[in-house]
Chain A
Amino acid sequence: MDTPPDEPAEPRNVPSAMAILASTRTAVVLLALTAVASLVGMILSDPVAAKYIYGRLWFHVLLGLLGVNLVACMVWRKRISAGRAWSLVMHLGLALVLVGAMITLIYARRGAVQIFEGKTVTHYIIPGPRPGEHATVPLGFTLKLVEFRLQYYPPVDYLYVRVPDRCAPDRYRVVPGRDIPVPGTDATLTNVRIERAPELSTSFRYDRETRTGRLRVTGDNGMTWTIPADVGSVSKLAGTNTAVEILRFEPAFVMDLETRKVSSRGTEPTNPAVRVAVYDGDVKRRGSERWLFASRAMPSSGPMLHPARRGAAALVAEAVTPHGTKDVYLEAGARATCPWFPGARVAFEHAHRKIKEFESHVQVLEDGHVVRDHVIRVNDPLTHRGITISQGDYDKRGLRYSVLGVSQDDGAHLVFAGFLATMVGLLGRLYLKPALRELQKRPSEDGGGSGLA
């Protein structure tokens, strides 16, 4: 590995242009220029970089000059010794990579195809020369999507806590029975369990003698809550994250069927009704406002408070903080204020399923016969007749179709062959050559024969 520089002194009796082209200094300058151009491109990022750097002629000329330097270096140093052969192989490999990249640039086609389940395609789409333009290219065979499916990891539950002044919420995995330290709020959730949120039904009672009303909320788990029907009041249902606000009271409810305007016939409580709204924490549940009637004759009495999330899961726990213990009740899907830390927001996500794999089961048909049957996964593309088909996108709403990437690139083989040669040359140059030199040195130092010389 320890190799003092032993490159031959650069010949002087050669044409100066060749000397410049093949010189190590030129190589260093070209490497530096390519590095700087690439660095600028990286900072600009796509698509600006592609437009102004990677796709420009001057950048390709720069890479071409690097290739010329490599070839000139090989050609110029005609005397090939065993020691220099490794450098030659390495530079030849790099030249192959550049040639392969050029073939890719000029001839490769990259596009996509969208296939619905059970349907076939014979062409794929590639971007046209101008933005927004497309061209269709024949595949050379028929491709059928038998089925598109997603594989998931086992579902998990998450608690999200967003502390004020933090740009993103923190995520904690919820496992029943396992404490959840929430350090951002100096609390630990203990006695953690996941329960089914009770289905709540509500009835409105009105006492005509005292002229007071109250709501009675009953959960299907046996819990009940009684709330005074005072206009403007917001009452939390203890042990849950739900609150009910009394918006309005009409002692003699009547509605104009044309304008749907609500009013009272008088002040006597002939048909008392209250308008309520339901809150998850301090967030008003969309579409939750409704009228509740004391009269049993009215058809809408006793509405469910949870029509949209009947039987939803809820995280139930106790938050132990330096200031005491608070009950925690969070229904899945609802965002709420944090019960134990002022200003923080919390949410509970139940049965989150993370995608494990995208699978497009496809068949290749030729002359009406199935010649290939393959399940395309992200790391398992299908290659047929020089065309590589890889998993791209999919129908996120209904899994009805899959979008497959299609690439046809003859330069890739040359690039990988170049990679192989580069590695062989590099290892030979950096390790094998010095090791052989050491072997050569030792016998001569001992006064023995010349060994491998």
Chain B
Amino acid sequence: MGWLEVFFDISVYAYLLALIAYTVWFLWRGPKPWVSGTVLLALGAACQVAFIIAMGAVAGRPPFSNTFETMVLFSACVAGFYLALLWGVDWKPLAPGVAFAALLVSLLAYVPMQDELDPLVPALRDNLLLTIHVLFCFVSYAAFLLAYVGAITHLWKNERHHPGAVAALALSVTTLVAGVVLSTLAGTTLWKDSRGAALAVAALGAVVAAGALWPALFFGGRKLRIRDRLPEEETLQKTVYRMVALGFPFLTLGIITGSYWAKQAWGRYWGWDDKEVASLVTWLVFAAYLHVRLVPRWRGTWISWVAVAGFWCVVFTFLGVNYLLGGLHAYA
């Protein structure tokens, strides 16, 4: 892709700097780090949008046909959503988590990065369906990621009532999942060159650092009273709900458009293909979330756990199926 990659590289550095700025703001407050972080996050998102548009222009097709291209879309959606929804909601304390998520997704995107933009296989040669189906899915994934960040924060906030272990476990397991995904990717395509290896080490380092950082934040954070700086429980729950309420209709639309496309291309709207089932499982988990919220006794940490489980399903739907199971969506 040559010079196009510069856009993507800039976005990764921007997310990294945004993470640093937001972390500084979180620990010491002050308007400057906050503004810097927000500008950098916006720069990263803008560069990724520009990269997506440029890829589409060069390839002459929607740039959503493989794992790399969709990962770029994913991270752009995460950062873009956060910025778009920043006003009117008490989102600020989640900023470091969002920047970290956007950075991690972007770093992971280097793994399946290709030197050239392949033409579409016959099954994908429907620009309209390809665009809306993938966009719907990844808009929902991004919303679910933000819901996940909120749910994790909620578990952290709730640590007082569930002596620490709950939130620590959530983050440790999550980090483990990220590590598994990363090593899976590393085993398939990553270790092919010195640049890829360096990036792999960087990404793996980020995951390990996250694994080490979160427990430190939990237990060390008690002394620093970091938890007191987090939004109120109700605000966090509302935030998670808003994100699920945003992602769920988009996921439904993604499944519906996928069904319609499958009917066109394969003559049936549902075939229990791995990707289809994984999407269904994700949909069922978030449907359960929306119902759990209606049962007063099940609110509290339970509901956040459902949101966490829902995002694990998203990760598996997106990456796990591609790399571990295959199926009719193997090209994705």
> Using a CB–CB distance below 8 Å, which chain A residues touch chain B?
1-3, 5, 7, 24-25, 27-28, 31-32, 34-35, 38-39, 41-43, 45-46, 49-50, 54, 101, 104, 108, 110, 153, 163, 166-167, 170, 172-173, 183-184, 186, 354-358, 377-381, 388-391, 405-407, 409, 412, 415-416, 419, 422-423, 426-427, 430-431
If A28-B298, A183-B193, A415-B259 are given as contacts, then 10 extra A-B residue pairs at C-beta distance below 8 Å, sorted by A number, are A2-B242, A39-B281, A41-B277, A110-B267, A110-B268, A173-B116, A379-B264, A381-B264, A391-B122, A431-B245
Cβ-closest chain B residue relative to A430? B245
Q: Are B291 and A35 in contact (CB under 8 A)?
A: no
In the complex, per-residue mask of B290-327: 1 if CB is within 8 Å of any chain A CB, else 0: 01111110100000000000000000000001000101
What's the least CB distance linking B107 to chain A, in Å? 18
Q: Are A430 and B249 in contact (CB under 8 A)?
A: yes
What's the least CB distance linking B191 to chain A, in Å? 7
**Total residues of chain B contacting the partner, CB 8 A:** 58
Q: Which of B193, B253, B269 contacts A423 (CB 8 A)?
A: B253
Q: Are B272 and A54 in contact (CB under 8 A)?
A: yes
Q: Are B295 and A183 in contact (CB under 8 A)?
A: no
Bound complex: CA of A66 vs CA of B9, how far in Å? 48
Q: Which residues of A contact B296 (CB under 8 A)?
A: 5
Q: Are B248 and A426 in contact (CB under 8 A)?
A: yes
Mostly, the B contact residues are helix
Pick from B28-36, B37-45, B123-131, B214-222 the stretch touching chain A.
B123-131
* Interface CB pairs A-B, < 8 A, 25: A24-B294, A28-B295, A31-B285, A34-B284, A39-B281, A41-B272, A42-B278, A42-B325, A108-B268, A166-B191, A172-B115, A183-B196, A186-B194, A356-B122, A357-B122, A377-B125, A378-B123, A379-B264, A381-B264, A390-B267, A391-B122, A412-B269, A415-B269, A419-B259, A426-B252
Q: Are B192 and A184 in contact (CB under 8 A)?
A: yes
Which of A28, A108, A166, A405 has the most chain B CB atoms closer than 10 A to its own CB? A28
Q: Are A423 and B256 in contact (CB under 8 A)?
A: yes
A-B contact count (CB 8 A): 147
Q: Does B266 contact A (CB under 8 A)?
A: yes
Q: Which residues of A contact B129 (CB under 8 A)?
A: 379
Q: Which residues of B contact A27 (CB under 8 A)?
A: 291
Bound complex: CA of A405 vs CA of B126, how far in Å? 19
Q: Are B248 and A430 in contact (CB under 8 A)?
A: yes
Bound complex: CA of A389 vs CA of B288, how far in Å? 37
Q: Which residues of B contact A430 (CB under 8 A)?
A: 245, 248-249
What's the least CB distance linking A67 to chain B, in Å? 14
Q: Which of B115, B123, B192, B242 contacts A163 (CB 8 A)?
A: B192
